């Protein structure tokens, strides 16, 4: 093929190449736009109520963007094996004002991982991490929580920025701006909650 014929062929193919390239670029452009689009987040107070599902246990949660991972109060933390996998058994108590209205929930969750955290005095302590479902602002969410005795803290649940970054914008001057009512637990969840609940 002569150089002239080759040049003419390239010229004739050029429009088709441009059209093909534009079609291929569309999905990439959509993906980039979706990734860069701002996420819809809800304004929440620095304190909100959450409901631990499926037990229906209502607890106060502090929204803390200074903490990376969420944390939850737990007592009698025990690691054990189930079918070859590591699990965590722990006790979680309700926050009713009257002693007679308080209940204790014994929970068992698969161990996700363990983290080493620097405690007061610089000592490194190991804490188990589990995944929990909870209701916040009318929707059920899932997040990883480190388990530790938060008895010396005012609030049993802390929601860290790993969870909050896609969900909430914190108003530091407000509290309890959302609802913690969820219907997602259903009858099975209520049945499990009743079975797992023990009066003190």
101 & 22 share domain: no
CA torsion 89→91→150→48, rounded to 10°? Answer: 110
Task: Tell me the pLDDT tens digit for each residue of 26-54.
Answer: 454 454 444 444 467 899 999 999 999 98
179 & 83 share domain: yes
142 CB-near residues (< 8 Å, 6+ apart): 131, 132, 133
pLDDT tens for the chain, residues 1 to 200: 555 554 555 455 555 544 444 544 445 445 444 444 446 789 999 999 999 998 888 899 999 998 999 999 999 999 999 999 999 999 988 776 666 667 889 999 999 999 888 777 777 888 999 999 999 999 999 999 999 988 777 899 999 999 999 899 999 999 999 886 776 544 434 444 343 344 44
176 & 128 share domain: yes
Range of the domain at 12: 1-37
93 & 15 share domain: no
58 & 153 share domain: yes
Q: Phi and psi for 144 in degrees, rounded to 5?
A: -90, 135
Task: Tell me the pLDDT tens digit for each residue of 48-64.
Answer: 999 999 888 889 999 99
67 & 5 share domain: no
Domain total for the chain? 2
73 & 154 share domain: yes
103 & 28 share domain: no
Are the CB atoms for 125 and 116 separated by under 8 Å?
yes
């Amino acid at each position: 093929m002569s150089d002239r014929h080759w040049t003419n062929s390239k010229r004739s193919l050029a429009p088709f190449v441009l059209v093909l390239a534009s079609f291929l670029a569309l999905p990439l452009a959509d993906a980039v736009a979706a990734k860069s689009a701002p996420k819809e987040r809800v304004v929440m107070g620095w304190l909100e109520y959450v409901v631990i599902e499926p037990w229906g246990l209502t607890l106060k949660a502090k929204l803390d963007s200074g903490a990376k991972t969420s944390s939850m109060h737990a007592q009698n933390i025990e690691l054990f094996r189930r079918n070859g996998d590591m699990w965590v058994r722990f006790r979680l108590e309700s926050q009713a004002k009257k002693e007679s209205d308080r209940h204790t929930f014994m929970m068992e969750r698969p161990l996700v991982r363990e983290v080493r955290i620097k405690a007061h005095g610089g000592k490194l302590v190991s804490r188990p991490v589990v995944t929990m479902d909870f209701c916040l602002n009318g929707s059920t969410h899932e997040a990883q929580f480190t388990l530790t005795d938060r008895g010396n803290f005012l609030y049993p649940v802390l929601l860290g920025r790993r969870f909050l970054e896609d969900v909430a914008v914190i108003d530091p001057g407000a509290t309890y701006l959302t609802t913690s009512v969820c219907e997602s637990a259903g009858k099975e969840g209520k049945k499990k909650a009743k079975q797992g609940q023990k009066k003190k």
